[in-house]
Chains A and B, each alone.
Chain A
Amino acid sequence: MQAFFQFTVEGLTIGGFYALVALGYTMVYGIIRLINFAHGDVFMVGAFIGWTVLVTLAGTHLPIVLALFVALATSLFFSGALGVVIDRVAYQPLLAAPRLSILITALGVSLALENGVLLIYGPGFLTYPHLLGTAGFTIGGVQISYAQTTMFVISLALMFALYLFVHRTFIGTAMRALAVDQDAARLMGIDVERIIQITFFVGSFLAAAAGMMEGLYYTQINFYMGFLLGLRAFTAAVLGGIGNIPGAMAGGLLIGLLESYGAGYISSRWTDVFVFLVLIGVLVVKPTGLFGERVVERM
């Protein structure tokens, strides 16, 4: 039983990352019906921007907490901006085109980001500064590090902030409205293109937060890190019901837990098999995902 709780702690930590990334998939799908294959790579770029800032600041005498904050803020902001640029340059011109064109474009953007980072930073693993100690506390034999706790809290706080943004602000309400009916949204005076940009900013912002936390947590980053994580986060979004925001949150945490249990009880080699088996199982029983309803009503 102690092992079970240990796996749960680990699972929730990484599940928080998956949830943050899954939100970006689900929000973009919700409003423009695009599976944004480049989203996992925005997560990766976020990790790289954070790494660059941290390494640059390592030479200065800035306190660690402040350095972390600057790196996080820089990474989140620039990754958010990157999301907007991707939308503007690659997706907006194709919104009226057949769905397949924009899907292929998303794959292209994904490759461009991966290879861009490969070109700048090289193919090897980069090491994040070891800022997180292993210090922590023990409850009933289960070890929980402060780092895990902090990251989980940050993940939850970001998700809660997003929930408030989407449900309590005009812009968030406009997002939900245009997920339902773009023309009707235009008739309300909503600048649809602008709201789509904001959605990309928010989604990329959250992905970058996950990217930086992943870098700090595992300390190793690589230009390819967004691919598999993106795939799992997308799985999380589908599991929760793509287009559904609470679904993506729950799906992300669930995937994290499944992965952790799979690795703990079966074998870490079988993790993905385990995760995707569960996905297939859920989709067979409930094709719209756990929280999904009708395809047109979401968010």
Chain B
Amino acid sequence: MKPQAPKRQPYGTLELGLLNVQDLHVAYGKVEVLHGVSLEVAEGEIVALLGSNGAGKTTTLRTLSGLVRLRQGRIVLGGEDITRLPAHKVVASGLGHVPEGRRIFGPLSVEENLRLGGYLLRHDLAEVEKRVHASYALFPRLAERRHQLAGTLSGGEQQMLAIARALMLEPRLLVLDEPSMGLAPKLVFAIFAIIQQIRAKGTSVLLVEQNARQALRIADRAYVLESGRIALSGPASALAADPRVRAAYLGG
């Protein structure tokens, strides 16, 4: 199966940005955890999704990727309705997902991890190799460790590998779930710099973060998720100045 050109479908009367999420309802068993989440990401934007533990941030991202079935709602990426697509097809339509906890394939080598990121291009091995080398250019540390098992990398290197792997298909939207989790401050800074670089190359970013201060620093806009609902949204600078956000997420 090759990644197909997305079927562009006219979407309602409004063509809003790259990603449009409308009224997402998701339940685990009988317990609904998302109660109508709507958000959007425009072309070239970095959008942060903030919220405390259990607010539904990861669930939101996993639903976008097709890993979690939704009960109700609509997800449109670049004009293509991806609401009911299985996860492996969502990837093909241009959404790259760096999951929480990195989820690299530990017993596989760094290079094998990267190649798997290009799995949908497997019928064009030259292209896969080209992109693997492009990853090495972006993350020189990975080039040094290409034959090492991914599980032996440090946390920061694993995060870089997870990002590089998700970039292999050159997604239009990169979704990152807690990329700074468990990293030393210096590395957090490096990861956020990389996210800005990725955006500069034309990939839009949807970022879930506990580290709200850093996230708001690089984001254009942000949403605050509380108990499965969007509680606040707006430009990142406005949210950073909002007393409610300052009290709850920026430590006063």
Contacts and interface: CB of A to CB of B under 8 A. Distances in A.
- A and B are partners in one complex rather than unrelated chains: yes
Interface of A: 170, 173-174, 176-177, 180-181, 183-192, 297-299
Given A173-B116, A188-B117, A190-B119, A180 B88 contact: no
Given A173-B115, A174-B116, A183-B99, A188 B165 contact: yes
Nearest first, the 7 A-B pairs at minimum CB distance are A186-B87, A189-B91, A184-B103, A170-B122, A189-B120, A297-B107, A177-B105
Nearest to B162: A184
B78 to A, nearest CB: 16
Contacts of B3: 189
Given A183-B99, A187-B166, A297-B151, A170 B119 contact: yes
Given A173-B112, A177-B116, A186 B67 contact: yes
B104 interface: yes
A183 B65 CA distance: 10
Contacts of A170: 115-116, 119, 122
Contacts of B182: none
B92 interface: yes
B104 A184 contact: yes
A292 to B, nearest CB: 12
A93 to B, nearest CB: 16
Interface of B: 1, 3, 65-67, 86-89, 91-92, 97, 99, 103-108, 112, 115-117, 119-120, 122, 151, 165-166, 169
A297 B87 CA distance: 23
Contact of A173 (B86, B92, B108): B108
A199 to B, nearest CB: 16
A187 B169 contact: no
B107 A176 contact: yes
A186 B88 contact: yes
A185 B115 CA distance: 12
Contacts of B116: 170, 173-174, 177, 185, 188, 190
Contacts of B169: 189
Given A173-B115, A173-B116, A174-B119, A187 B87 contact: yes
Given A170-B122, A174-B116, A174-B119, A187 B107 contact: no
A235 to B, nearest CB: 24
Contacts of B87: 183, 186-187
21 contacts: A170-B116, A170-B119, A173-B108, A173-B115, A174-B119, A176-B105, A176-B108, A177-B105, A177-B116, A180-B105, A180-B107, A184-B104, A186-B88, A186-B91, A187-B91, A188-B165, A189-B3, A189-B169, A190-B116, A191-B1, A192-B88
Contacts of A181: 103, 105
A299 to B, nearest CB: 7
Contacts of A177: 105, 108, 112, 116
Nearest to B165: A188
Contacts of B66: 186
A131 B9 CA distance: 64
Contacts of A173: 108, 112, 115-116
Contacts of B103: 181, 183-184, 187
A24 to B, nearest CB: 20
A64 B87 CA distance: 50
Given A170-B119, A170-B122, A183 B92 contact: no
A173 B108 CA distance: 8
A187 B169 CA distance: 11
Given A191-B88, A297-B107, 8 more contacts: A180-B108, A186-B66, A187-B67, A187-B87, A187-B166, A188-B88, A189-B89, A297-B106
Nearest to B168: A188
B119 A189 contact: yes
A175 to B, nearest CB: 11
A297 B88 CA distance: 23
Contacts of B97: 187
B178 to A, nearest CB: 15
A173 B103 CA distance: 16
B69 to A, nearest CB: 11
B249 to A, nearest CB: 27
Contacts of A297: 106-107, 151
A187 B65 contact: yes
A84 B178 CA distance: 39
Contacts of B151: 297
From B91, B104, B108, name the one whose CB has the most chain A CB atoms within 10 angstroms.
Answer: B108
> A176, A184, A190, A192: which has the most chain B beta carbons within 10 Å?
A184
A177 B115 CA distance: 11
B99 to A, nearest CB: 6
A283 to B, nearest CB: 22
Interface centre among B103, B105, B115 (most CB of A within 10 A): B105
A23 to B, nearest CB: 18
A180 B116 CA distance: 13
A181 B97 CA distance: 14
Contacts of A183: 67, 87, 99, 103
